[in-house]
Amino acid sequence: MRIWPIFKKEMRLYFTSPVAWVVFTIFLLIGGYFFYSIFAFFTQASLQSAMNPQMGRELNVTDSVMRPLFSNISVILLLLMPLVTMRLFAEERRAGTIELLLTYPVRDGAVLAGKYLAALVLYAIMIGLTVLYPAIVVYFARLEWGPVLTGYLGLLLMGATFIAVGVFASSLTENQIVAAITTFGVLLIFWILGWSADYAGGTAGRVLQFLSILEHNDSFSKGVLDTKDILYYVNFTALALFLTLRSLEARRWKG
């Protein structure tokens, strides 16, 4: 399996083109704004609770800063990740380079793995940069690192799923915009499924709740590692990657 050269090439393309830099900048800008407003709100609440000790007992920096921050970051990712993954196969198809790539002595699976891992590492670097926020928090307050770590694990798993969906959408078309919109649409649908869970109620409600892609991230940021959530992301990712392989093969037959 020659994953490494493909991985290197994709990484190089992310960083020699402006894509990686623009995504990092926008992500940190919006993430920073969210962090600032959440932290400022928390500061105000702590100031008020100084006068009202009863209220102070409820205040917890992990729960009131990190948890909402993780959930806000998820929403940015929902918007940004389709733009990171849209290029991977669509551009190769548009430029025709896929014809060379798929005649080199590498299996389709290795091509997919190289591209997927490149996007995943880019993503890991991106959320790695946000460690700055808990680092600032820890300067002012006592932070429980456990839930922060599981929170990041949750983000990583969820991002892995976003990327897998994006790679699949990218393998379906030669138009990057179409790939991005498809990815965004699929992710959004799986997000808003959770909203209707409340109205549906009963078994249907529970099923909808379980399908919701952001819902599963919440327990991670609470510091809970639930196999149900881990399996959800792992299976979702595996399914999307499997479909991508099938789509690559189907394209071969169609020529």
Binding site for another protein (CB under 8 A): 2, 4-6, 8-9, 12-13, 16-17, 95-100, 102-107, 252-253, 255
Identify which of residues 92 and 218 has a Cβ nearer to another protein in the complex.
92
**Residues 66, 69, 74, 80, Cα dihedral to 10°:** -130
Nearest one of 18, 88, 131, 23 to 241, comparing CA atoms = 88
Q: In the complex with another protein, which residue's Cβ is closer, 18 or 201? A: 18
CB of 139 to another protein, least distance (A): 40
Closest distance to another protein from the beta carbon of 77 (Å): 25
- Closest CB to another protein among 69 and 98? 98
Give the nearest distance from C-beta 17 to another protein in angstroms. Answer: 5
Is residue 85 a contact partner of residue 183, using CB atoms and an 8 Å limit?
Answer: yes
Element (H, E) at 209: helix 202-211
Minimal distance, residue 177 CB to another protein, in Å: 18
Q: Which is nearer to another protein, 8 or 206 (CB)?
A: 8
Q: Between residues 98 and 187, which has the closer beta carbon with respect to another protein?
A: 98
Residue 150's SS3 state is: helix
Contact 168, 242 (CB under 8 A): no
Residue (40 or 95) nearer to another protein, CB: 95
**What is the smallest separation between the CB atom of 8 and another protein, expressed in angstroms?**
7
Angle at 251 between CA 182 and CA 113, to 5 degrees: 70
Q: Which two tokens stand for residue 229?
A: 């959530």
| Beta carbon of residue 253, minimum distance to another protein (angstroms, whole number) | 7
Residue 45 or 248 having the CB closest to another protein: 248
Beta carbon of residue 98, minimum distance to another protein (angstroms, whole number): 8
CB 112 within 8 A of CB 244: yes
* Residue (of 148, 146, 124, 157) closest to 228 by Cα position: 157
Of 163, 18, 173, 158, which is closest to residue 81 (Cα–Cα)? 163
How far lies 225's CA from each of 74, 99, 138, 218, in Å?
Answer: 18, 43, 23, 10
What 3-state DSSP class applies to 58? coil
Separation CA 206–CA 194 (nearest Å)? 9
